[in-house]
A = this chain, B = another copy of it.
Amino acid sequence: MREVFHDTLEDIQSRLVEISELVTEAIEKATKAFATGDVALAEEVIANDETIDNLVLTTDEVAIETLAMQQPVAHDLRVIITALRASASLERMGDLAEHIAQLVRQRYPERAIPKGLKSTFVRMGELDVEVARTLTQLLRTQNLTFATHIRDTDDDIDELHASVYERVLGDSFSGEIPHAIDATLASRYHERFADHAVSVAKKVVYLATGDWSGADDDAAEIEIVE
């Protein structure tokens, strides 16, 4: 019985890794589509989000079933609690990659990246991909140095996010209202994607330490002061 139980816990952890890999693939494709205007790639991201949603749903169901049937304690219990909170954040990360892809579809055949902001968004996209890859590593290894790296990268993304606002609101911006709106939403999606990764990373720290007080979700987000 105990062996079956530990297989289940491993199963839950590898499901989270699998979801994180799918989210990584989604953000890679979404940011590439965003940079190039590749609408077929964008459609792929949009179509694949359901796979992520379904995997999140079944992972939650397994976690709840395990809680009910096995009544885990200590570290085993923390695996389940972490899974139940991390899965919701991973699901949102998939949604945010999908939103970036939806911007591509809406603007097609034009590019969704407003003029003058291409290098900023390419960089934000690269950093989001890095965050997602690091998150997969963190979930796989539970090596907490990956959690630190996610936080640091999130800080860099926050800075770029603030710079998009400054740019769009500044005199040098040559775009029209639709471009300003695209930039605002796209930047927010990129920034929120990384916030959710920070949130998952905090749960993995809780898994290792047993201290929930650093695991709650407040303060991941920055206020944009224009």
Contacts and interface: CB of A to CB of B under 8 A. Distances in A.
A61 B177 contact: no
Contact of A169 (B53, B57, B177, B223): B177
Contacts of A213: 57, 61
Interface stretch (A66-74, A135-143, A152-160): A66-74
Contact of A102 (B68, B81, B169, B223): B223
Interface in A65-115: 67-68, 71, 73-74, 77, 81, 84-85, 88, 91-92, 95, 99, 102, 106
A116 interface: no
A212 B61 contact: yes
A127 interface: no
State the copy count for this chain: 2
Interface in A160-183: 165, 168-169, 173, 177-178, 180-181
Contacts of A47: none
A181 B178 contact: no
7 contacts: A60-B212, A67-B77, A169-B178, A178-B226, A180-B180, A180-B181, A188-B188
A14 interface: no
Interface stretch (A1-9, A23-31, A34-42, A214-222): A214-222
Contacts of A61: 212-213
Majority secondary structure, A binding face: helix
A81 B57 contact: no
Q: How large is the interface on A (under 10, 10 to 19, 20 to 34, 35 or more residues)?
A: 35 or more
B180 A95 contact: no
Interface in A188-226: 188, 212-213, 215-219, 221, 223, 225-226
A117 interface: no
A173 B177 contact: yes
A99 B218 CA distance: 13
Contacts of A81: 64, 67, 84
A30 to B, nearest CB: 14
B68 A73 contact: yes
Given A56-B216, A57-B213, A216-B56, A88 B85 contact: yes
A184 interface: yes
